């Protein structure tokens, strides 16, 4: 079920009441929240609940075996088996069709035919997020950073419904300690929770869905029917749409979790204000960025084995990060673009450090000079450059094939003779607001939250009712799924 629907509102009201009634009695509360999460996930397809159950049981068995294993070799083999099983399940559901098609196309270049079965496999929603969550648990147990929990606690962590479909990627070390004891409803930051939920709904319904239906879907489906200006605005519109759509889900998930007494990690921090691609990845999908750093980049060697190996590790991490998003060459190319940009930025900083060291050895400076670790400095132009690069890369992320992506980019140069009917004041306003809100100081949001929190409950309820009414009037006719559901 989707967040912005009556069905979910009724579901959450019942869960909210049951959550706080049963919270003082963990033996009842944990099965209750697990059942509620299974109902939520099973609403899409009840058979996928079996996947959750199998994942929870299998990874709990792996973690328990790792904790009890004595020899280093046996522990490494157990970890390898756990990673292989989890990635194998992910690969079967998400990458089987891509693999078969790629093999057939490759052999076709040499005029060879391969009769490989192309099965119609339904992709379970949120399986990529599920895989990363359970792997963080198993790997942290292997590293000795986490002790195994009870089977019931781990099952709650696996299935917890607010983040199950599209994150944030809460690690076991962040979530499981919160199951240790009952929470106090009087300490719940309800003002922040409602603020996040309302902000998320506004970004989703008023900006993301509007841009999708009024420019983005058309430009990326039939680019030849749009002028160059419309195409440019469609590309920029997608950059705004994907941010508003994905951050909206994260905001709502965090807000709902707060109302249930749980803290989830933030997932976005004004990514389009970044002054470098490095800075962008510190702000965009932050839980994924940290996961890739801690469980892929660092195990590959990180920056500990020289510059060349560091650059290779960055490229591998980003290409695999692109593949994690979707089964297709455009996703991998998107990761390759970001990997190349990160390597270029690291190289720029490394050269700057090397020159500073040479000047120091030459006696030009009595002490080690400070080296600016910002690849392009600060100010307006680096921000515009990073936004332009990220927006360009989004074209490949959004397109189903390279041909489709190139078709969209080619249309930028074919029709500058007219403006186009899709260019309206409302469209320009939606794009400007989607980017502009990221430049609003966080302190202003905090002051607004603080002002809302001191209002009496009747005033808070009245403001929320008016706000939701406005969203209902101005929003789309029906709910639209979130973009990251397909990842």
Q: Who contacts 228 (Cβ-Cβ below 8 Å, separation ≥6)? A: 411, 412, 413, 414, 415, 416
* Dist. CA 165–CA 200, nearest whole Å: 16
pLDDT band at 413 (very low <50, low <70, confident <90, very high): confident
Counting DSSP H helices and E strands in the chain, the numbers are 21, 0
Q: Which residues are known to be catalytic?
A: 325
pLDDT band at 119 (very low <50, low <70, confident <90, very high): very low
Give tens-digit pLDDT for 226-261: 898 999 999 999 999 999 988 998 999 999 999 998
Nearest to 134 by CA among 114, 101, 109, 159: 159
Mean per-residue pLDDT of the chain: 84
Nearest to 161 by CA among 41, 12, 47, 246: 41
* Dist. CA 61–CA 44, nearest whole Å: 28
> Is residue 345 over pLDDT 50?
yes
Give tens-digit pLDDT for 162-190: 888 877 889 999 999 988 877 777 777 78
Q: How many CB atoms are located within 10 Å of the residue 5 CB?
A: 12
User: What pLDDT was estimated at residue 405?
Assistant: 92
Q: How far is CA 277 from the centre of its chain?
A: 16
Give the torsion sign (CA, 68, 74, 76, 79): negative
Dihedral-angle region of residue 399 (phi above 0 means left; psi in -120 to 50 means alpha; beta otherwise): beta
DSSP 183: P
Question: What's the rounded mean pLDDT across residues 363-370?
Answer: 60
* Dist. CA 476–CA 234, nearest whole Å: 19
More confident residue, 211 or 360: 211
pLDDT band at 121 (very low <50, low <70, confident <90, very high): very low
Give tens-digit pLDDT for 374-390: 777 778 899 999 999 99
Nearest to 233 by CA among 482, 461, 416: 416
Q: How far is CA 276 from the centre of its chain?
A: 19
Token digits of residue 396:
């490949």
Nearest to 207 by CA among 194, 219, 216: 216
Nearest to 255 by CA among 169, 162, 160: 162
- Listed range (127-141, 253-267, 443-457) with the worst mean pLDDT: 443-457
Q: DSSP string covering 388-405, please?
A: HHHHHHHHHHH-SSHHHH
Token digits of residue 279:
């800075």
Question: What residue ranges do the domains of the chain occupy?
Answer: 6-93+122-187, 190-275+390-487
* Dist. CA 108–CA 272, nearest whole Å: 42
pLDDT band at 391 (very low <50, low <70, confident <90, very high): very high
Question: What's the rounded mean pLDDT across residues 266-289?
Answer: 92
* Dist. CA 246–CA 483, nearest whole Å: 7
Give tens-digit pLDDT for 290-336: 999 999 999 888 888 888 899 999 999 999 898 888 778 888 999 99
User: What pLDDT was estimated at residue 428?
Assistant: 93
Token digits of residue 139:
């790997």
For the chain, what percent of residues have pLDDT higher than 90? 36
């Amino acid at each position: 079920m989707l967040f912005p629907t009556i069905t979910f509102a009724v579901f959450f009201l019942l869960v909210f009441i049951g959550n706080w009634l049963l919270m003082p009695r963990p033996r009842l509360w944990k099965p209750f929240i697990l059942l509620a999460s299974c109902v939520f996930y099973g609403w899409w397809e009840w058979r996928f609940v079996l996947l959750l159950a199998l994942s929870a049981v299998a990874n709990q068995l792996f973690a328990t075996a790792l904790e009890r294993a004595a020899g280093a070799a046996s522990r490494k083999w157990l970890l390898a088996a756990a990673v292989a099983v989890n990635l194998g399940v992910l690969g079967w559901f998400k990458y089987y069709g891509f693999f078969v098609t790629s093999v057939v196309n490759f052999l076709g270049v040499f005029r060879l035919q391969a009769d490989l079965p192309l099965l119609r496999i339904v992709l379970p929603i949120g399986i990529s997020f599920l895989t990363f969550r359970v792997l963080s648990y198993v790997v942290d147990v292997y590293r000795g950073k986490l002790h195994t929990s009870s089977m019931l606690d781990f099952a709650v962590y696996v299935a917890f419904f607010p983040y199950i479909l599209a994150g944030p990627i809460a690690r076991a070390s962040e979530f499981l300690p919160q199951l240790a004891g009952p929470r106090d409803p009087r300490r719940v930051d309800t003002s922040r929770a409602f603020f996040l939920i309302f902000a998320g709904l506004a970004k989703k319904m008023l900006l993301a869905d509007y841009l999708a239906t009024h420019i983005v879907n058309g430009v990326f489906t039939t680019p030849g029917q749009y002028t160059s200006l419309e195409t440019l605005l469609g590309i920029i519109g997608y950059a705004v749409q994907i941010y508003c759509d994905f951050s909206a889900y994260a905001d709502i998930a965090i807000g709902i979790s707060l109302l249930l007494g749980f803290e989830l990690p933030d997932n976005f921090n004004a990514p389009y204000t970044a002054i470098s691609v490095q800075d962008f990845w510190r702000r965009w999908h932050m839980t994924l960025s940290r996961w890739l750093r801690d469980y892929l980049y660092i195990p590959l060697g990180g920056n500990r084995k020289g510059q060349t190996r560091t650059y290779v590790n960055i490229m591998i991490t980003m290409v695999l990060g692109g593949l994690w998003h979707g089964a297709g060459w455009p996703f991998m190319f998107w990761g390759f673009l970001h990997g190349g940009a990160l390597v270029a930025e690291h190289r720029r900083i490394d050269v700057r450090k090397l020159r500073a060291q040479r000047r120091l050895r030459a006696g030009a400076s009595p002490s080690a000079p400070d080296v600016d670790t910002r690849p392009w400095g600060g100010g307006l132009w680096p921000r515009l450059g990073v936004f332009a690069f990220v927006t360009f890369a989004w074209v490949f992320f959004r397109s189903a094939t390279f041909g489709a992506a190139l078709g969209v980019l080619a249309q930028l140069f074919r029709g500058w003779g007219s403006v186009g009917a899709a260019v309206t004041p409302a469209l320009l306003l939606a794009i400007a607001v989607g980017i502009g809100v990221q430049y609003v100081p966080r302190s202003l949001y905090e002051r607004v939250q603080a002002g809302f929190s001191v209002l009496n409950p009747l005033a808070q309820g009245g403001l929320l009712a008016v706000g939701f009414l406005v969203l209902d009037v101005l929003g789309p006719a029906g709910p639209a799924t979130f973009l990251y559901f397909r990842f």
